[in-house]
Structure 1
Amino acid sequence: MRYVTLTDVFVHPVAQKYLKRSGVAHAIATAYHAYRLALNHGVNVDLATKAALLHDIGHYEWYSNGKWDYEKYKQNDIHAIKGAERAHKLLIRLGEHPKNAKEIALAILLHTDSYLPECELKRKPLQEIIKLADEADEEPGGKHHYRKIDDQLALKKIKQLDQLVEKQLQTQKLEDII
């Protein structure tokens, strides 16, 4: 059962504020990558697409002298921590099941290890998919955060992805009955 759709998340003012900061086009592309990867690895497409859409909402804007400072970002960023918190709070407010909200938040928290001391993370399948989906859309120097997309086209793509997710969940439900 879906408690909250991608569209519900996408149109919320909090999501809009932080998605625009971190890159709407990147968030949507990452959500589509997560959908494909979730299908291929038997992971819940609803959780995967929501986590991927929200994976960068914790970004802080690192500027020096009015210009984006990628090196400063790489050295000081903890966006996955802040993003996990923001996503969890937003999803709970929207009515997401608390267990789902926690899984999504943990996938956001662990989509990158750039803020951790050097170590090997053992990610769960959903967490690994969000990491891979993000990497599939990355561009050198963080340029993927600055690609533009028209607001109407962005909403259209989110609604299309919602339909794909819903169709997949219905198919899984039928397969579980049979």
Structure 2
Amino acid sequence: MREVTLTDIFTHPITQKYLKRSGVAHALEVANHAFHLAFKYNVSVDLATKAALLHDIGHYEWYRQGKWDYELYRENDIHAIKGAERAHKLLIRLGENPQNAKKISVAILLHTDSYLPEIDVKRSPLQKVVKLADEMDEEKGGNHHYRQIDKSTALEKINYLDQLVEHYLPKQQLSSPSHEQSM
């Protein structure tokens, strides 16, 4: 049994506030991609979907003269750093296992190379899943952050994803004793 569900995370006021900045539709789509990628990379569907849902929670609104400035964002953004911190605090507050909260937060920290110096980062399977899931939903010019979804549809999608995680997580735990369950 999970301590914290995706619905717990999604409905929290902090999540709602910050997901609106980066795009709720994008966060949900990345979580969905992460769910499917988790099987390929032998990663916990629980941790993968949580990290993916929260991956952009650190976005800052880069506006110039009242309009979103994508270039300003690309030049100055460190959202993964802020997001990792914000997600960790939120997950601990909600009662997530501290080791899982740390692993989710580090996956958020490493989901993008946009702020990193030119180095080759060796990512864990969970970190790869979140990075790949995000890349699968990217659109030119950051347009993936602007897609809209109404609140009731978003809640339906997150509830459905929660049901899938609840269904497959026990099977993952049983099928692989060395599984990166607490990854």
TM range, normalised to the smaller chain?
over 0.9
- How does 1:161-176 map onto structure 2 within 5 Å? 161-175=161-175
Alignment RMSD (CA, Å): 1.1
1:160 aligns with 2:160: yes
1:117 aligns with 2:117: yes
**SS of the residue 2:121 aligns to:** coil
Structure 2: state its 5+ residue gaps. Answer: 178-183
Matched to 2:145, the amino acid is H
1:128 corresponds in structure 2 to 128
1:88 aligns with 2:82: no
State how far apart, in whole Å, the 1-side matches of 2:94 and 2:17 are: 16
State how far apart, in whole Å, the 1-side matches of 2:176 and 2:104 are: 23
Residues 173, 126 of structure 1: CA spacing in aligned structure 2 closer, same or farther, 3 A cutoff?
closer
Percent identical among aligned pairs is: 71
1:43 corresponds in structure 2 to 43
State how far apart, in whole Å, the 1-side matches of 2:20 and 2:117 are: 29
1:13 corresponds in structure 2 to 13
User: What's the offset of the Cα at 1:51?
Assistant: 0.2
Q: Output one character per residue of 1:80-118: Cα deviation in whole Å (capped at 9) or x when no partner.
A: 000000000000000000000000000000000111111
TM-score (norm. length: structure 2)? 0.94
State how far apart, in whole Å, the 1-side matches of 2:175 and 2:133 are: 26
**SS of the residue 1:115 aligns to:** coil
User: What's the offset of the Cα at 1:42?
Assistant: 0.9
User: What's the offset of the Cα at 1:174?
Assistant: 4.3
State how far apart, in whole Å, the 2-side matches of 1:58 and 1:109 are: 10
State how far apart, in whole Å, the 2-side matches of 1:102 and 1:38 are: 18
Matched to 2:127, the amino acid is Q
Structure 1: state its 5+ residue gaps. Answer: none
**SS of the residue 2:58 aligns to:** coil
State how far apart, in whole Å, the 2-side matches of 1:40 and 1:116 are: 26
User: What's the offset of the Cα at 1:175?
Assistant: 3.6
Would you say how many aligned residue pairs link Structure 1 and Structure 2? 177
State how far apart, in whole Å, the 1-side matches of 2:82 and 2:127 are: 16
2:180 corresponds in structure 1 to none
State how far apart, in whole Å, the 2-side matches of 1:77 and 1:49 are: 23
